[in-house]
């Protein structure tokens, strides 16, 4: 009887030591916030396999939403009317890639070439890898395309992997239709302009409010436009966080 009594007395003590039964237990705070994985696609109007790569990225975006995925589509100046010197720079001088299309960078560090039946699965794998890693930044974007002014509000909720980072602003346009080898192709989130970047030295608790003003080319449709703000570590090309503001999503 004494042994049974001792055992019964121990049960509340043992239960109180577990997460489920201890009323004073608190979950450890998460470090960081939801990462929005950015897919940068470099394509060309004359590229045979590019539409497959583009659609794979759009499918991933449709499945997960802009709170988890962002997409940028760049065109070259080589035989492509949508290209600019800035988009050429992004692939050739920044990412050090030759003129091979399509190529996709997920968060600047996971690279995939080509477009085929397995492209979506490769992009999905890259997304799954990156989305598990919390970001040390929260970005909210205020302003509008019609006002021709955008402000990025950045909160550093955890220490970033590097103190020296770049904030980049990219104007994009959607619902652009063009002839692709006899078929009509509609592209969204095509990069129209890359605005002046900003260097930041960030640590936990730091906040930044960065404004950019810009012009709208008369050939663009403001109602179909938006802006993507990204934070990138130039030392290894990793994109730490991104945010989109605008239409279409």
Q: Among 175, 173, 183, which residue's Cα sits nearest to residue 46?
A: 183
Section 46-56 average pLDDT: 97
What's the mean per-residue pLDDT of the chain? 89
| Separation in Å, CA 188 to CA 151, 199, 242 | 22, 28, 17
Q: Is 116 helix (H, G, I), strand (E, B) or coil?
A: coil
**What pLDDT, in 10s, does the model give residues 173-227?**
999 999 888 889 999 999 999 999 999 999 999 999 999 999 999 999 999 999 9
The number of helices, as runs of H, and strands, as runs of E, in the chain is 4, 14
Cis? peptide before 102, omega within 30° of 0: yes
What Cα–Cα distance (Å) separates residue 99 from each residue in 42, 71, 88?
Answer: 9, 20, 9
Label residue 82 exposed, middle or buried (CB < 10 Å: 0-12, 13-18, 19+): buried
Domain layout of the chain by residue ranges: 37-246
C-alpha to C-alpha distance for 34 and 39, rounded to whole angstroms: 16
Largest Cα separation within the chain, whole Å, is: 91
On the question of pLDDT at 21 being above 60, the answer is no
Domain 37-246's class?
mainly beta
- The pLDDT score that the predictor gives to residue 27 is 45
Rounded to whole angstroms, the Cα distance separating 42 from 105 reads 9
238 vs 223: CA distance, rounded Å? 31
pLDDT digit string, tens, across residues 64-110: 999 999 999 999 999 999 999 999 999 999 999 987 899 999 999 99
Token duo for residue 175: 């619902």
pLDDT at 43: 97
Tell me how far apart the alpha carbons of residues 188 and 174 are, in angstroms, rounded to a whole number.
Answer: 4
Question: How many Cβ atoms from other residues are within 10 Å of residue 117's Cβ?
Answer: 8
């Amino acid at each position: 009887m004494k042994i049974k009594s001792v055992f019964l007395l121990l049960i509340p003590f043992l239960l109180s030591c577990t997460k489920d039964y201890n009323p004073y237990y608190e979950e450890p705070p998460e470090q960081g916030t939801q990462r929005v994985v950015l897919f940068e696609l470099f394509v060309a109007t004359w590229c045979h396999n590019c539409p497959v790569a583009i659609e794979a990225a759009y499918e991933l975006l449709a499945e997960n939403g802009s709170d988890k995925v962002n997409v940028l589509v760049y065109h070259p100046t080589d035989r492509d009317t949508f290209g600019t010197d800035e988009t050429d720079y992004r692939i050739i001088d920044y990412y050090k890639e030759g003129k091979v299309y399509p190529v996709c960078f997920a968060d600047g560090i996971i690279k995939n070439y080509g477009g085929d039946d397995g492209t979506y699965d490769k992009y999905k794998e890259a997304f799954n890898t990156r989305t598990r890693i919390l970001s040390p930044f929260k970005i909210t974007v205020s302003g509008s395309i019609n006002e021709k002014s955008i402000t990025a509000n950045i909160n550093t909720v955890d220490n970033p992997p590097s103190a020296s980072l770049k904030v980049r602003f990219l104007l994009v346009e959607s619902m652009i239709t063009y002839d692709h080898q006899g078929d009509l192709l509609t592209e969204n989130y095509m990069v129209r302009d890359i605005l002046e970047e900003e260097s930041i030295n960030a640590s936990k608790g730091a906040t930044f409010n960065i404004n950019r003003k810009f012009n709208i080319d008369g050939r663009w449709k403001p109602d179909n436009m938006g802006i993507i703000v990204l934070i990138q570590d130039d030392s290894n090309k990793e994109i730490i966080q991104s945010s989109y503001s605008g239409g279409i999503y």
